[in-house]
């Protein structure tokens, strides 16, 4: 299975997740997964819901891992009818204001975390994309950042903020050992030959939110939502934001219309057009 995932250029985080999901499936039945079938998958799906209390999205991720294993590795058919994906509950995130984002960045535990938070907000990259940023991806002449191998193995460019460029240069000077490849080298001292993992940006968000006293749940993808919502409120058009985010379907980007205060306030409520009797007349 590992070779199949690597052949299709799945990210390291996704590869680990898929392998672990299949391992848990096999451990649940105390049996090799190649000896299990549709009945076991349905039973396991029910167990994820009723016993582990996982969300529909998490159950879907488990099913995706099993589907990949059975189709790509075992070369077996997979019936969506027999093992349907659960319907996801679409909830809108609570978007922090620009003032709250500034408080978050200022409350970063370390300069390294501060740079990570600024990069997430200034570019709208996914956390996995941030961890794989290379030094060569920073194009200061064209003032863009190249995002290579994003979701769906698609490359794209995002804007390079002058403020972020100054921060990245300061970050580069702070590194004890300059990596020839990775913009954010891993290990405790940031001198590793491999990049940071996705835990680092997640911890950067959690620790900074705690120090800033922000009660809202803050995570790397929320800063991506902030990037898109605040751009929309500043007047950027949906198509531009779609390109910057790397969305294939404009419907994905259109969700930010529900989060933008500018668009919400620009439309008057139909209540405002009603001719109502005054309260004093009704009370009389």
Residues acting as catalytic residues: 126, 151, 221, 224, 247, 256
How far apart, in whole angstroms, are the C-alpha atoms of residue 58 and residue 72? 21
Closest CA to 221 of 110, 115, 128: 128
Measured CA to CA, the distance from residue 276 to residue 270 in angstroms comes to: 12
- Residue pair 155/148 in contact (Cβ under 8 Å)? The answer is yes
| Region for 190 from its dihedrals, namely left if φ exceeds 0, alpha if ψ lies in -120 to 50, beta otherwise | left
Strands (E), the chain: 138-139, 144-147, 156-159
Q: Please tell me the distance from the alpha carbon of residue 119 to that of residue 66, in angstroms, as a whole number.
A: 34
Distance CA 98, CA 254 (A): 20
**91's torsion region: left (phi>0), alpha (psi -120 to 50) or beta?**
beta
């Amino acid at each position: 299975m590992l070779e199949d995932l690597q052949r299709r250029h799945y990210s390291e985080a996704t590869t680990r997740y898929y392998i672990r999901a299949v391992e848990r499936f096999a451990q649940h039945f105390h049996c090799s997964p190649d000896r299990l079938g549709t009945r076991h998958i349905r039973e396991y799906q029910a167990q994820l819901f009723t016993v582990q209390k996982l969300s529909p999205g998490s159950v879907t991720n488990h099913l995706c891992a099993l589907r990949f294993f059975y189709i790509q590795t075992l070369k077996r058919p997979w019936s969506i009818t027999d093992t349907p994906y659960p319907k996801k509950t679409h909830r809108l995130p609570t978007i922090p204001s620009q003032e709250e984002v500034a408080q978050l960045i200022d409350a970063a535990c370390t300069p390294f975390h501060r740079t990570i938070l600024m990069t997430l907000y200034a570019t709208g990259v996914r956390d996995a994309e941030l961890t794989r940023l290379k030094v060569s991806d920073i194009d200061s002449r064209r003032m863009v950042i190249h995002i290579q191998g994003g979701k769906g193995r698609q490359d794209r460019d995002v804007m390079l903020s002058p403020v972020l460029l100054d921060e990245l240069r300061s970050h580069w000077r702070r590194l004890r050992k300059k990596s020839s490849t990775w913009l954010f080298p891993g290990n405790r001292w940031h001198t590793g030959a491999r990049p940071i993992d996705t835990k680092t940006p997640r911890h950067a968000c959690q620790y900074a939110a705690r120090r800033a006293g922000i009660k809202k749940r803050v995570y790397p993808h929320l800063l991506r939502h902030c990037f898109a919502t605040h751009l929309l409120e500043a007047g950027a058009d949906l198509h531009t934001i779609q390109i910057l985010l790397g969305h294939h379907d404009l419907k994905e980007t259109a969700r930010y219309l529900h989060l933008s205060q500018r668009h919400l306030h620009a439309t008057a409520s139909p209540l405002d057009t009603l001719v109502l009797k005054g309260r004093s007349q009704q009370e009389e």
